Structure 1
Amino acid sequence: MSMNRQSRRDFLKNATVAAAGASALGAVQAPSASAANSPDALFRRFVNPPRDYTLIPFWFLNDDLNEDELRRQMDDFAAHGVYGVVPHARMGLPETLAFMSEPWLDMLQCCVEHAAARDMRIILYDEGMYPSGSCAGRVVAANPRHAARALERRKRPALGPDEVIVHQDADYVYVNTRSLGAIRGVHFGTDDGEPGAPPAADILNPEAVASFLHLTHDRHYERLGAHFGKTIIAIFTDEPNVLGRGHKRGVKPWTWDFEAFLDAFLGYDFRPYLAALWEEDAPEAPRRRRDFARAVNARLEQVYYKQYSEWCDAHHIALTGHPAGSMDIGVLKHFHIPGQDVVWRYLEPFQDKSLEGAHSTMGKCGSSAKINYGRARNLNECFGAYGWEFTWEEMRWLTDWLLVRGVDMLSPHAFYYSIRGERRNERPPDVGPNNAWWNRYKPYADYCRRISWLNGAGTHVCDIAVLAAATYLPWRAARTLFEHQRDFNYLDGDTLLRQATVDGEGIAVGGAHYKMLIIDGEETMQDGVRDAIEPLMATHRALAYQDAIADIPVAADKDMLLKKLAEVTPPDLTLEQACPDIRYRHVVIDDAHFYLITNEGKHRIKTAMRVAAAGAAAWWDPETPAILADAAPDDLDIAPYQSRVLVVRG
């Protein structure tokens, strides 16, 4: 959850480096009159981009709500540069404001109508509290057979109510039973492990999901439909969990008649292999477990995400939020605004976990899905449960970590309606009005809006893809690419096979054309991919990294990888000195090339730099904002916690 003591002490010591030449947005003033009135029309757009690119934080509605106070807080947000919110029912609501009750909808309607009057945006949150899919227990209350299910292995075949034997071998019976999983509730006494926690619904059951959509979003539409697609831009679904939280130990995901789905999806009867889900030494256990995981994910995608996305299509609103796994890129095809989340100190400054491990991939997960699936935006829910010790410098570092990886809609977790009593300790911190930095927040919010506009309105320039699986994104090659300023996107195998055009020149998919495909590990080589990339292999545009895979050429180490890449696609950005802490993203807006540069390291970096784009170049400071007329365009001078934008126009 947090840094060890030594790294925390080092971090706080290094944080002071920002004061020497880098504001870290702590003392930045509002845009100057000269910036706002610059004769450069493109710079004026950059200084004050549309409100669509605003921060849109989770707003914890967690106390006895008052309409005047709701409106006052929204006005305060806007005065600090925040023009949107995700109203979110959270722990501390009184029972008189139960999720989806009429009084709750009255308060939600107040927020939406005030947002409409103030040119603000709303993303509806779909649950009370999370994970999504249960309507705060109302799905199960409407039909107990819609409670989350599980497969349990037992020695004895005794059955309780609503249980069914799926299979029996020489030693065990395998029983379809309730998982007893729950979700977190919004009233005191309904949290994890407490008796009032709402029961989780069976989100592998299409009827249960339809009930959830009816009980939640049909009601939303009845009340607020006039604002759908206007003030209300999206609905947020949050890490759906097929078993629910706190479920029975040792069980596996299941649903009614799941054995028939397994047979159809896998092409064979899976029941004789059920023991492999519990026994590592069972015959072909790794294969059977992979098959089962693929089937569960496919069922979740088909039953939950696809049905949800279709509901949103029919009601002219976007589906956003994020799945449960940081590497779950496959299901994001059903999101109109694909997303991920940085919470629980998954990432921290100056640590290897920002470049290695599952969570290191999530920034590129959402932004790659946006590109490959042809979406306009992608989102990240960020900073949740980082604790009250979370610093301004950490927030700035994480913000740039996300932005330079292509995130263009930041949803800070969270702004608290109330910090009364225990409310202040529910997944803290408040990163907005109840924090010491609120009086200097607007420059930060304006900065985020500018870079979100670059990422959202710009066309990404990137010609390298790293092959992924639906639930797995490799990171060995990714680290090498990041540290040597070779930008890339992930491309999952299903999208490669079903939506891409592959020829000897590369891969065309969504809004991208990739000239090189890197295969980092056999886990990503699903059936059909080898044959699909044959045209790439014929022109030396497919490359395995470190591990031999079939007959694909191998780059055994990072030097060989970089050499092979340069032979096919020369670097877009080159630094005179090796700088593994420098990250960049290149986008094009109106024939102007924007290179966003960030420094993820502890030390100031000064080096010569050249870019592939040709034309007159100038440095822009996105923080103040200003055109840095005295800065040489071929010199990079950047401090920790700082970003710069190089603009090249022909």
Structure 2
Amino acid sequence: MNQLANKLDEALAGRVPARYLIPLFWQHGESHDLLATEIDAMHRAGIAGFVLESRPFPGFLSEAWFDTVEFTLRKAEKFGMKVYVFDDSHFPSGYADGLIERDFPQYLRQLLRMNYLDAIGPRPGVSLAVNAWQQTSEDRLFKVVAVKMTDNVDGLQAGSAVDLSDRVAPNGVLYWDLPPGRWRVCLFFRTREGGEEHTRNYLNLLDPAAVRCYLDLVYEPHYRRFKADFGRTFMGFFSDEPRFGSASSYEATLGRMPMVIPFDETLPEELAAAAGEDFTLSWPWLWFGDGEAAARARTIYMDRVSRLYSENFTGQIGAWCRAHGVDYLGHVIEDNGAHARLGYGNGHFFRAIDGQSWSGIDSVLLQNVPGFTDGRFSSMFCVSHDARFFHWGLGKLGSSCGHLNPTMRGITFCEIFGAYGWNEGLRYMKWMTDHFIVRGVNRLMPHAFSPREFPDPDCPPHFFAGGHNPQWRAFPIWSAYANRLCHLLSDGVHRATAAVLYHAEAEWTGGDFEPFETAVRALALGQIDCDVVPLDMLAEASVSDGRLQVAEETFEVLVIPYGQRWPETAKAVLQRLADAGLPLVWLREKTLPLPGESVAANKLVDHLRSCGQYDLTVTPAAPDLRFYHYQFADGDVYFLVNENLRDGLQVRLSFRDAKLQFGYDPLRNCWSPEPSKKEFPLELAPGESRFVIRGVAPPTESAWTRFRPNTVIQLETKWKILTATAEAYPQFTPFQEQASLGNLALPGLLPDFSGTIRYNAVVSVPPCAGRMELDLGEVWEVAEVAVDGVPCGTCIVPPYRFDVTGLLGSGRHEIQIDVTNTLAKKYGNNVYDRGLLQDPSGLLGPVTIRIE
């Protein structure tokens, strides 16, 4: 098979199929003409399709809605584009446009609240007005359990719990002879109050009948109307951030914060079956206590609610979609580790999205900011983003599920760019694209296209914005780049050295733990790649010749992040793998009596390399270099990114085997020869990316060699400056002339201007015979160059260098430089843009001619 060779030929020839970019397309009830204009723009930009999202649409599920769906389907069909439908009237999914609340209240979200009273005995003949603890008329008493305390805070004595439920009289009063000692009386109420208010009227995600009702209300009507389009143009549904909603928090770990918890009528039975005994006496340990009793109770509870969510919500919807010939896409809230918790979470990331056709994550609201790689940082919507999770964990979490879950076929999407503000231009977008794709994402869901009257204040940026976004002209450069990346990193198999154990079960126990991203970070800093693997998948995995096999992925070692406690199931799974010959490495400390060495995080890479467990070697050390190894039947690709936006790097890559190899620049879409078969010299500018292609013959065209100047001439000239907004372009208005270059977004210059700034100059160039480049220096942020009226190309990111060989011969020449900034200068006074420092505007230089 010539799979890789064919893909590279398609990329170089500009024939990459448009199937990788599927943006959100917001619907508010606009006219067909406006919708057609946006779809036309998407198609011209190489976009594969879109997700129709009510934002909100007046009358979701009405005839007007279905008319909009019909029109967009027909328009998309004309272009061969694909359409997905957001499965609710607004996010998060699970509201059914209010129909659950209105017509099926029995299916609304259920919660369990715990109130408690501390008392000291002995006190015979006491009573407690349990009914006085009811907070609403809908609250229903579930259980009353008393537990003896071991301290004056929250310690509970194992084996001391007493079920007092049958001692509550019909009048709502508990009658009891309080024994000697300090006791905590816990009152448990079934309730609908106390969780996240925003999702109060959402369906009960643990109840299969509730989810079936949701399918009947939202999915089935679409199928009845568009059955003939299912699997052809209507490709599936998209769920956005469904969650337990038991707290308005990312930190909702049992025993670590007071909260209500998810509940369902069948849950007590489920927990009893899992525990092998009545769970009644274990309920208090979900909130209080520590030690083995608390660890066991919390693990059983979290295991069951996360499985019920997986089976009854995602699993049921996914099965329905597969039965109807379409895909089911979506993502949950992963933020700050919520993926393994209650509250905004769903208990277990891999289970939560198990029924989906693709793995999915999102990065919105300034969750990924260059430079924030550790610790905490704030934005306008979160005072404490977990930088370690967002930088090292999020992308790997999503792509690992895509790699390891066979039904996902190696596909992971990221909903991306949303609510970063207008200051997020193509330069920032390219950085985010590289960040996620080098971590294994291979589909992008840009957020968003909005046909609403400009400027739509809802979560900018909007890419086309009815033609008002001045960077739209250069958007196809980004989309072509992103399509090429995804194309070369799809339909093959990811290759990584290490598997990292997903930490959810260690967190559930209530003990001290380190999240999986601690290990991912340690490995990435030393160029050892990994996937994150949950215990569920390890339980089904095999070991052959000392290598772990999960789906199509193989790993040489399993790295286990620190967990003070792990459930017995973990011990059994890990013991089986170790007995089969898989090397185990324990970060920080080994806490189970199993084989393997304990290694500090900062020594992990050295330890693995000493054991021969690595893919490539980088000399000298380059902690900002990321890589991703992807394999086809006829060869391998290594995608490499310099994540440092200030400093370039020069390193030598050493591979473990000798193969024919060459470099490929996916932004410039050209390749460069490399005679060595085992080493590769790599030079990357700040933020630059490159592929190393191994095992296939190089193409015959589009070869490129790195420019090595021996003469640099700085242009000293007068610049005539003109401006044009997106609406006025290409009609420019004179601004001023100046001899020096600098930031124009300053008082007295153009502080509020958004659009294109044109710099015209006449320069004299001495005679030269070699190749020539025009280097613009610092630019904010899209640059387009013409010499004597001849276009020389457009750059959306540094380095802003243009090949002008043959254009700048000796004599006088007219140079035209168009620099386009973002809409932040004119429209940045909003809640989204205030969260980012705004960049300068214009051409800052220095502008030089580089001669080889």
| TM-score for both structures, normalised by structure 1 | 0.84
Residues 281-300 of structure 1: pairs in structure 2 closer than 5 A: 284-300=293-309
Paired position in structure 1 for 2:319: 310
- Structure 2 counterpart of 1:81, from 46, 62, 71: 46
Paired position in structure 1 for 2:665: 621
- Structure 1 counterpart of 2:239, from 237, 248, 271: 237
Paired position in structure 1 for 2:681: 635
- Structure 2 counterpart of 1:332, from 353, 358, 382: 353
For the pair 1:596 / 2:605, whether they are aligned, the reply is no
Deviations along 1:57-103, whole A, 9 cap, x unmatched? 111213x3111221221011111222211111114x4xxx3111121
For the pair 1:108 / 2:69, whether they are aligned, the reply is yes
Paired position in structure 2 for 1:186: none
Contact 1:115–1:122 (8 Å) recurs in 2: yes
Paired position in structure 1 for 2:784: none
Between the aligned partners of 1:470 and 1:320, the Cα distance in structure 2 is 23
**How far is 1:645 from its partner?**
0.8
**How far is 1:524 from its partner?**
8.7
Between the aligned partners of 1:284 and 1:574, the Cα distance in structure 2 is 47
In structure 2, the CA distance between the partners of 1:355 and 1:462, relative to structure 1 (3 Å rule), is farther
**How far is 1:589 from its partner?**
2.9
Paired position in structure 1 for 2:480: 446
| Higher mean C-alpha deviation, range 370-379 or range 168-177 | 168-177
Deviations along 1:394-435, whole A, 9 cap, x unmatched? 2221111100011011111112121557xx332333244454
Residues 44-55 of structure 1: pairs in structure 2 closer than 5 A: 44-47=9-12, 48=14, 50-51=16-17, 53-55=19-21
Residues 145-156 of structure 1: pairs in structure 2 closer than 5 A: 145-154=106-115, 156=130
Paired position in structure 1 for 2:140: 164
In structure 2, the CA distance between the partners of 1:485 and 1:256, relative to structure 1 (3 Å rule), is same
- Structure 1 counterpart of 2:558, from 479, 496, 517: 517
- Structure 1 counterpart of 2:32, from 53, 67, 84: 67
For the pair 1:483 / 2:504, whether they are aligned, the reply is no
**How far is 1:449 from its partner?**
0.8
Contact 1:344–1:384 (8 Å) recurs in 2: yes
In structure 2, the CA distance between the partners of 1:154 and 1:535, relative to structure 1 (3 Å rule), is closer
For the pair 1:259 / 2:268, whether they are aligned, the reply is yes
For the pair 1:415 / 2:389, whether they are aligned, the reply is no
Paired position in structure 2 for 1:386: 420
For the pair 1:126 / 2:87, whether they are aligned, the reply is yes
Contact 2:36–2:75 (8 Å) recurs in 1: yes
Deviations along 1:198-255, whole A, 9 cap, x unmatched? 82111111111100011111011111222222223332111112237879x9422112
Between the aligned partners of 1:535 and 1:169, the Cα distance in structure 2 is 39
Between the aligned partners of 1:129 and 1:175, the Cα distance in structure 2 is 30
For the pair 1:606 / 2:627, whether they are aligned, the reply is no
Deviations along 1:346-381, whole A, 9 cap, x unmatched? 221111248723673121112111221122211111
Contact 1:368–1:489 (8 Å) recurs in 2: yes
Paired position in structure 2 for 1:545: 587
Contact 1:604–1:638 (8 Å) recurs in 2: yes
**How far is 1:153 from its partner?**
2.9
Q: 2:220 corresponds to which letter in structure 1?
A: D
Name whichever structure is richer in strand by fraction: 2
Paired position in structure 1 for 2:691: 645
**Higher Rg:** 2
Residues 414-433 of structure 1: pairs in structure 2 closer than 5 A: 414-420=448-454, 424-433=456-465
In structure 2, the CA distance between the partners of 1:317 and 1:577, relative to structure 1 (3 Å rule), is same
**How far is 1:565 from its partner?**
2.0
Count of matched residue positions in the alignment of Structure 1 and Structure 2: 591
**How far is 1:182 from its partner?**
7.5
| Higher mean C-alpha deviation, range 462-471 or range 391-400 | 462-471
Q: 2:689 corresponds to which letter in structure 1?
A: S
Q: 1:618 corresponds to which letter in structure 2?
A: F
Q: 1:532 corresponds to which letter in structure 2?
A: V
Paired position in structure 2 for 1:344: 365
In structure 2, the CA distance between the partners of 1:134 and 1:454, relative to structure 1 (3 Å rule), is same
Paired position in structure 2 for 1:26: none
In structure 2, the CA distance between the partners of 1:245 and 1:137, relative to structure 1 (3 Å rule), is farther
Contact 1:344–1:385 (8 Å) recurs in 2: yes
Question: What percent identity do the matched residue pairs reach?
Answer: 25
Paired position in structure 2 for 1:30: none
Q: Secondary structure at 1:528's aligned position in 2?
A: helix
In structure 2, the CA distance between the partners of 1:591 and 1:59, relative to structure 1 (3 Å rule), is same
Paired position in structure 2 for 1:34: none
For the pair 1:500 / 2:541, whether they are aligned, the reply is yes
For the pair 1:530 / 2:571, whether they are aligned, the reply is yes
**How far is 1:106 from its partner?**
1.0
Q: 2:204 corresponds to which letter in structure 1?
A: D
Deviations along 1:526-555, whole A, 9 cap, x unmatched? 433433344653546111122223233224
Between the aligned partners of 1:382 and 1:302, the Cα distance in structure 2 is 28
Paired position in structure 2 for 1:395: 429
Between the aligned partners of 2:571 and 2:288, the Cα distance in structure 1 is 31
In structure 2, the CA distance between the partners of 1:283 and 1:567, relative to structure 1 (3 Å rule), is closer
Between the aligned partners of 2:289 and 2:547, the Cα distance in structure 1 is 40
**How far is 1:286 from its partner?**
5.0
Contact 2:493–2:553 (8 Å) recurs in 1: no
Paired position in structure 1 for 2:191: 177
For the pair 1:584 / 2:630, whether they are aligned, the reply is no
Contact 2:114–2:187 (8 Å) recurs in 1: yes
In structure 2, the CA distance between the partners of 1:641 and 1:275, relative to structure 1 (3 Å rule), is same
Between the aligned partners of 1:246 and 1:505, the Cα distance in structure 2 is 44
Contact 2:447–2:462 (8 Å) recurs in 1: yes
Structure with the bigger RCO (C-alpha within 8 Å, sep 6+) is 1
| TM-score for both structures, normalised by structure 2 | 0.65
Between the aligned partners of 2:605 and 2:490, the Cα distance in structure 1 is 29
In structure 2, the CA distance between the partners of 1:282 and 1:526, relative to structure 1 (3 Å rule), is closer
In structure 2, the CA distance between the partners of 1:505 and 1:282, relative to structure 1 (3 Å rule), is closer
In structure 2, the CA distance between the partners of 1:510 and 1:45, relative to structure 1 (3 Å rule), is same
**How far is 1:483 from its partner?**
0.9
In structure 2, the CA distance between the partners of 1:250 and 1:561, relative to structure 1 (3 Å rule), is closer
Between the aligned partners of 1:384 and 1:42, the Cα distance in structure 2 is 30
Between the aligned partners of 2:259 and 2:277, the Cα distance in structure 1 is 25
**How far is 1:598 from its partner?**
0.5
Between the aligned partners of 2:427 and 2:532, the Cα distance in structure 1 is 29
Contact 1:182–1:200 (8 Å) recurs in 2: no
| Higher mean C-alpha deviation, range 333-342 or range 51-60 | 51-60
In structure 2, the CA distance between the partners of 1:303 and 1:575, relative to structure 1 (3 Å rule), is same
Q: Secondary structure at 1:129's aligned position in 2?
A: coil
Deviations along 1:465-516, whole A, 9 cap, x unmatched? 111145775112211111111111111101110x311345222121112221
Contact 1:340–1:362 (8 Å) recurs in 2: yes
Q: Secondary structure at 2:325's aligned position in 1?
A: coil
In structure 2, the CA distance between the partners of 1:372 and 1:177, relative to structure 1 (3 Å rule), is same
Contact 1:606–1:636 (8 Å) recurs in 2: yes
Contact 2:41–2:464 (8 Å) recurs in 1: no
Between the aligned partners of 2:102 and 2:657, the Cα distance in structure 1 is 60
Q: 2:481 corresponds to which letter in structure 1?
A: Y
